[in-house]
Every structure is written in C-alpha cells, then in structure tokens.
Amino acid sequence: QENWIKTIQLDDIPEDDVIGINVEGHPIALYKVEDGVFATDNVCSHGRALLSDGFLEDGEIECPLHQGRFCIKSGKAMSEPLTHDITAYPTKTEGDQVFIKLG
C-alpha cells in the first residue's frame, strides 16, 4: 500500500539546507542536497532541540544544542553525545511537489 503524503514544494527547501515542517503532527526535517531530498525526524534523540535549527554539512546534520551529528540519509547517530538514531523517511518528488512516507 502506497502511503505517500504530499508536503511542500521543492523550491521551498533552500539549496544545501534544511527546513522543519509538520507532517500529520510529526516534526520532520527536510534536507535538499546534491543527491536529492531526504527526510528525518526533526527532534534530536538526545534532547529537546530541533535539527532544522542545526548545521548541515557533508550529508550530516549537526544538532544546535550539543553538536551531535546524524546522517541525513539513514538517521544514524554519527557522533557523541548521541546514543540513539533518529528515523529517516523515504521521499520522492513529482514535478515540484515533495512527498514523504511516514511508515
């Protein structure tokens, strides 16, 4: 069963950057990089910080609070002080529309 949810337009995501959106009540971080569009949970697994307020570099998002880094493609925790991964979600674009599959 396909369960794609329509979100924002591709142009709404800044180039090589991240934006925080709400998808059916879930805070989601959407990233637009050279490889395409990626989506993860927006809330850090370590504390109450939004990754969309963080710093995106080399396919990793750095949390603004304690600088833990996650892979934006897998959600994997890449550095201290993180101990838990976040979830990464499938995305697709059709025309200028970005879709996400939550689960």
Interacting residues toward ligand FES by CB under 6 A: 44, 46-47, 49, 63, 65-66, 68, 81-82
CB of 58 to ligand FES, least distance (A): 17
Nearer residue to ligand FES within complex by CB, 26 or 101: 26
Could you please report the per-residue DSSP string of 77-91?
Answer: B-STT--S---EE-E
Nearest residue (CB) to ligand FES, 5 versus 65: 65
From the list 94, 75, 76, 89, the residue with the least C-alpha distance to 21 is 89
Least distance between ligand FES and beta carbon 69 (Å): 9
Structure letter (DSSP) for residue 50? B
CB 55 within 8 A of CB 62: yes
Q: What are the structure tokens assigned to 46, written together? A: 């370590």
Tell the smallest beta-carbon distance from residue 65 to ligand FES (Å).
4
Q: Is the Cβ of residue 39 or residue 98 nearer to ligand FES in the bound state?
A: 39
